[in-house]
Amino acid sequence: MDIKTATALRRLRLVSAPEAVSFLLLLVCSVLKRTTDFNAVPVMGAVHGVLFILYVLFWADAWNRTKWSKQTAALYFVLSVLPTGGFFAERKLKREAEDAVIASRARREGTVNA
């Protein structure tokens, strides 16, 4: 894996958890708006919107660089629109990055022809 691909995956991973948190907070703010006088929906909506746009941009960049299959790319996109999906995306991306590092080290040491 080259450095640009690793960077694209890292950016996607770093934005996935905050995007998921902002989505959950937006849902909580929506409930509070309807049940109390507290209205933070405009602020949380804007924060979540920015994070979602960043997620989609980083997702497209990662898909372009990693050459994911359509199923893998669709999985990461679907995870972005589920309330807790960003946490699962972050965990899966972290596992992929760790596997890539292990494979790279194994190739460098000559223990595997991968």
> pLDDT-based confidence at 3, cuts 50/70/90?
confident
Helix (H, G, I), strand (E, B) or coil at 38: coil
Residue 59: name the closest of 71, 38, 74, 44 by CA: 74
- Predicted pLDDT at 76: 93
- Predicted pLDDT at 113: 58
Residue 87: name the closest of 10, 39, 21 by CA: 21
Please determine, for residue 78, whether its predicted confidence score (pLDDT) is greater than 60: yes
C-alpha dihedral over 4, 5, 8, 9, to 10 degrees? -150
> pLDDT-based confidence at 61, cuts 50/70/90?
very high
Helix (H, G, I), strand (E, B) or coil at 37: coil
